[in-house]
Amino acid sequence: ELQNTVKRIMILGDWEAVKGELKTRETTHDNDYMNDSTQHVLTPAEREPSEENTSKKDFPSLKKVQKKAIREAESKAILEVLLETRWNRKRAAEILEISYKALLYKIKEYNLIAARGLEMAYNYKRATS
């Protein structure tokens, strides 16, 4: 999803338009969740699934869900700050209130270097157009 977003920024040439679209999508998703969660009240039969219909394989553990959510939130926050600081990692680490070394580790862990390469290519394309 991140790669697609960065590619769209490069193709469209307008970071603000893509940023606005992402905020709209996020707001719409939150509203859809609220509407879906408040419209349907479960019946007792629906609340108690039979053993035939559920198994451990069907659902991830809460620990896995938590780790995935943390990774997504951290990578999004780090990328936003890096873009805002024009990849000034020292300043980004200060803003995020983490050590410079921890920031470098997370950039590598979340493969945000690829996003920087795409951003640099986009900026070069804009400068030469």
Q: Are 82 and 116 in contact (CB under 8 A)?
A: yes
Segment 36-58, tens digit of pLDDT:
555 555 555 566 655 555 555 67
- Identify whether the C-beta of residue 122 lies closer than 8 Å to the C-beta of residue 87: no
Considering only the C-alpha atoms of the chain, give the largest distance between any 2 of them, rounded to a whole number of Å: 64
Measured CA to CA in angstroms, residue 88 lies from 66, 82, 103 at distances of 29, 7, 11
| Predicted local confidence at residue 96, as pLDDT | 95
The values of phi and psi at residue 42, to 5°, are -75, 140
> What's the pTM?
0.52
